[in-house]
Amino acid sequence: METNNNPKPESQNPETPENNDIIGIWASIVAFLHELLDIRKDTDKKGTIEDIKENISMKGHTAWVLVFSILIASIGLNVSSTAVVIGAMLISPLMGPILGVGLSIGINDIDTLRRSLINLGVMVGLSLVTSTLFFIFPIFQNETPEILARTAPDVRDVFIAISGGLALIIALSRRTKQTNTIAGVAIATALMPPLCTAGYGLATWNLAYFGGAMFLFTINTIFIALATFVIVKFLRFPMLKYINSAKRKRIARTASFIALLVFAGSIYMFINLFQENQYRQNAQNLINDIKKSGISIIDENENNIKYPEKSINIVVYGNKLTAEDLSKWESKLNDYGLKDTKLIVQQGVDHSDLRDDVKNLTDLYVQNQRIISSRDETVKEKEDKIKLLTKQLSKYEANEIPFIQISKEAQINYSGLSKLGYAKLIENNFNSVDTITVFNAKWYDSVPNVKQQQILLGKWLKTRLNIDSIQLNNN
């Protein structure tokens, strides 16, 4: 019998020195990452629960701190001062009840959940009353950029709320608290400005602002509570024990049901915000490409892109969009991810007729030059006449105001404008004769601060027409 003395190939032996080195390196990397990212080792579960429960209450000193911080934030929004708003967020006690909701669901503490929800309602009510009383005064009702920035959430607010909530509960669960992290989360998640903006909406009866701001606050609240719940479960905080086993099971089911509702609602909100954000981005890409094609668009703002109605409204001036151009852009809506979207184009009056007149006069001049080239006197006469006509036409074009276009733009910019008149006034002070451009504006009776609107309209007309000597009368 023959014996096979050939050794096995080296590649078939799993315990080669090379494999042992790779396994050792991988084990070292895993151990390093575990030590780097492990948060269970230095967690103070009992202290964290006590700290959160102590900060749930919204009465006494805490209530007054909330009132004054809301007042400071409202002033900051009114003067559009980011520094003042940040200062108000640093001293506000808004996080307590929200963390209490997430913690109580995570440890099946129904009493703490009830207490957290009650104090959360008190906190919201107190904040709305304070901000509404501030903004109810007309001198504080200007729509500043800081206010407008809090009237509608987008998908990025969800990520901020989730990240902020995770950072906050992790910082609180350490044996040594990270106060700088807690302060930073209070600023990043921005719970207070939406409540102040909601108060502004109530004070000015702008339900759209109120709804958008409260939606933003609700998103921040839900996702911060959800992040707290996730970390509490991950760190295995001790569940509250009840002597009555039936009660314990009932409470556990209730807490699980509430957690499921919060999680499902969070996912639903996230999907809706993501879809709306994607729709607005696609719509903006379409508008940018229309502008690149040579079409001039004015009055661009977020309100022109309406996600619920699936419509995009653009205002075109100068060269008009022909029916063929409009059909071409409408056919491309699907390519931009804007299926079932209605493209609404508002087009103003241009000066094509005037330009045609100039072109016709120029053509006539060239033709006459060829016909009468042999007749010097006639040529000179006609040249002088054409020069005079051209000069008068240029003067007319320079002084003429595109009133129809100006009226449409003014109506877009000033919705309270009822009528707008225009005329040229020739005035003689017996030393000189001046021509004054006069506009007459009439406003609806419901428009507040008509005098201020009149001043803004006058400034806009001077800037738009590049004429300093405009006289604006109020009818």
Name residues of the chain where pLDDT drops below 50: 1-3, 8, 10-11, 351, 353-354
CB within 8 A of 289, min separation 6: which ones?
none
Indicate whether 153 and 175 sit together in one domain: yes
Q: Which two tokens stand for residue 268?
A: 């639903």
Q: In 3D, which of 282, 378, 391, 373 has the Cα closest to residue 334?
A: 282
- Give 353-407 pLDDT, tens digit per residue: 445 555 677 777 777 766 666 566 666 777 777 777 777 666 665 567 788 888 8
Indicate whether 69 and 189 sit together in one domain: yes
- Give 40-52 pLDDT, tens digit per residue: 676 777 777 877 8
Distance CA 399, CA 402 (A): 10
Distance CA 156, CA 40 (A): 29
Residue 194 in domain = yes
Indicate whether 378 and 432 sit together in one domain: no
Signed CA dihedral, 123, 272, 152, 446: sign only: negative
Distance CA 56, CA 119 (A): 7
Residue 314 in domain = no
Q: Which two tokens stand for residue 224?
A: 């911060």
CB 133 within 8 A of CB 151: no
**What is residue 244's predicted lDDT score, i.e. its pLDDT?**
57
Residue 322 in domain = no
Running DSSP on this structure, what letter comes out for residue 424? E
Distance CA 160, CA 460 (A): 39
Distance CA 173, CA 230 (A): 13
CB 424 within 8 A of CB 463: no
- Of 240, 267, 282, which residue sits at a domain end? 240
Indicate whether 134 and 112 sit together in one domain: yes
According to DSSP, the residues that pair with 314 across neighbouring strands are 345
Largest Cα separation within the chain, whole Å, is: 139
Indicate whether 59 and 162 sit together in one domain: yes
Residue 342 in domain = no
Amino acid at 365: Y
Indicate whether 55 and 178 sit together in one domain: yes
Residue 463 in domain = yes
Indicate whether 131 and 231 sit together in one domain: yes
3-state DSSP assignment of residue 337: coil
**What is residue 224's predicted lDDT score, i.e. its pLDDT?**
83
Range of the domain at 13: 8-36
Signed CA dihedral, 279, 280, 284, 285: sign only: negative
Q: In 3D, which of 313, 322, 317, 320 has the Cα closest to residue 343?
A: 313
Indicate whether 152 and 235 sit together in one domain: yes
Residue 250 in domain = no
Indicate whether 126 and 58 sit together in one domain: yes
Distance CA 231, CA 181 (A): 16
**What is residue 35's predicted lDDT score, i.e. its pLDDT?**
66
**What is residue 306's predicted lDDT score, i.e. its pLDDT?**
74
Domain of 424, CATH number, reads 3.30.300.30
Indicate whether 25 and 144 sit together in one domain: no
Distance CA 415, CA 306 (A): 19
The CA-based angle 203-208-211, given to 5 degrees, is 85
Residue 25 in domain = yes
Tally Cβ neighbours within 10 Å of residue 455: 12
Q: Buried b vs exposed e over 72-106: b needs ≥16 C-beta within 10 Å?
A: bbbbbbbeeeeebbbbbbeebbbbbbbbbbbbbbb
What total number of domains does the chain contain?
Answer: 4
Domain of 94, CATH number, reads 1.20.1080
* Distance, first Cα to last Cα, the chain: 123
- Is residue 236 left, alpha or beta, with left meaning phi > 0 and alpha meaning psi from -120 to 50? left
- The DSSP element (H or E) to which 37 belongs, if any, is helix 17-37
Residue 276 in domain = no
Name the burial class of residue 393, with classes exposed (0-12), middle (13-18) and buried (19+) by CB atoms within 10 angstroms of its CB: middle
Quote the crossing angle between the two packed helices 192-203 and 110-135, to the nearest 10°: 50
Indicate whether 374 and 456 sit together in one domain: no
Indicate whether 20 and 159 sit together in one domain: no
**What is residue 1's predicted lDDT score, i.e. its pLDDT?**
42
Distance CA 272, CA 93 (A): 30
Signed CA dihedral, 315, 319, 324, 329: sign only: negative
- The DSSP element (H or E) to which 414 belongs, if any, is none
- Of 336, 371, 399, which residue sits at a domain end? 399
Distance CA 185, CA 168 (A): 6
- Of 184, 207, 240, which residue sits at a domain end? 240
**What is residue 318's predicted lDDT score, i.e. its pLDDT?**
61
